[in-house]
Amino acid sequence: MAANNSPLPDGVTKEQAFGMAETEMEYRVELFNRLSQTCFSKCVDKRYKESELNMGENSCIDRCVSKYWLVNGLVGQMLSAGGQRPM
């Protein structure tokens, strides 16, 4: 690949960048799986009476995803802020 659109940051080789992208991808996939699992088990009733989501489940899933995302962001902030001093 002769033309690189985004130049790598200093001191990072291509293999390292690939490794970081792979880790990031795994993290994203894990986050998505955890999110759907959590919200499904919390919001959807175990007795499946029909195949569509009814309105209560719909708004429950909306709220669940929003809260999960906020918690994720908040915890990430705390971790990166508290990284200077050991926990």
Partner 1 sequence: MPTVEEMRAQEVWNNCAIRSAFSGVVGGGLGIFMGFLLGALDNPLMHDPDMSAKKQFIFTAKQMGSRSWSNCKTFALMGLVFSAAECVIEKARAKHDVTNTAVAGCVTGGAMSARAGPQAACYGCAGFAAFSVLIEKFIDRHS
- Check residue 69 for interaction with partner 1 (CB under 8 A): no
Instruction: Establish if 39 lies at the interface with partner 1 (CB under 8 A).
Output: no
Q: Cβ neighbours of residue 53 under 8 Å, at least 6 residues apart?
A: 44, 61
* 61 Rama class: left (phi>0) / alpha (psi -120 to 50) / beta: alpha
- Taking the C-alpha atoms of residue 42 and residue 64, their distance in angstroms, rounded to an integer, is 8
Cβ–Cβ under 8 Å, residues 64 and 42: yes
Beta carbon of residue 64, minimum distance to partner 1 (angstroms, whole number): 9
- How many residues bind partner 1 (CB under 8 A)? The answer is 14
Q: Does residue 33 belong to the site contacting partner 1 (CB under 8 A)?
A: no
Smaller CB distance to partner 1: residue 14 or 63?
Answer: 63
The footprint of partner 1 (CB under 8 A) covers 43, 45, 49-50, 52-60, 63
